[in-house]
Structure 1
Amino acid sequence: MAKFWRILGCVVAAVVAFAGVLALRSGDSGPDVKGFRHSAAQPEFCKEAQPLDLSRSAELSPHRRAHVIEDLRELAPADIAGDFDRLVSWYEHPSEEERDRSRRASVRVGEFIERSCDGINLGGIRT
Structure 2
Amino acid sequence: MNRRTGLRVGVAAVVAVLGVGFLGYQWATADEFADAHAQRSFCEAASPLDLSSGHELTLHEKEHILEDARAFAPDGVRGDFDTLLDWYEHFHPEDEEDAREASFAVGEFIERSCEDINIGGIRAKD
In the alignment, which residue of structure 1 is the partner of 2:53?
56
Identity across aligned pairs (percent)? 47
1:40-55 equivalence runs, <5 A: 40-55=37-52
Structure 1 unaligned residues grouped into runs of 5+: 1-21
Give the deviation of 1:70 after TM superposition: 0.8
Query: What is the alpha-carbon distance in structure 2 between the residues aligned to residue 66 and residue 116 of structure 1?
Result: 19
Q: Secondary structure at the match of 2:36?
A: coil
Give the deviation of 1:122 after TM superposition: 0.4
In the alignment, which residue of structure 1 is the partner of 2:92?
95
Q: Secondary structure at the match of 2:96?
A: helix
Bigger Cα Rg: 2
Query: What is the alpha-carbon distance in structure 1 between the residues aligned to residue 57 and residue 121 of structure 2?
Result: 17
* Contact 1:37-1:116 at 8 Å conserved across structures: no
Aligned length: 104
1:73 aligns with 2:82: no
Which letter does structure 2 place at the counterpart of 1:125?
Answer: I
Structure 2 unaligned residues grouped into runs of 5+: 1-18
Normalised TM-score (structure 1):
0.74
Which letter does structure 2 place at the counterpart of 1:120?
Answer: I
Q: Deviations over 1:29-68 (max 9, x none)?
A: 24432x3395320111111111100010122111000000
Query: What is the alpha-carbon distance in structure 1 between the residues aligned to residue 30 and residue 46 of structure 2?
Result: 18
1:32 aligns with 2:14: no
RMSD: 1.9
Give structure 1 regions of 4+ aligned residues with deviation exceeding 3 angstroms: none
Query: What is the alpha-carbon distance in structure 1 between the residues aligned to residue 61 and residue 86 of structure 2?
Result: 14
In the alignment, which residue of structure 2 is the partner of 1:104?
101
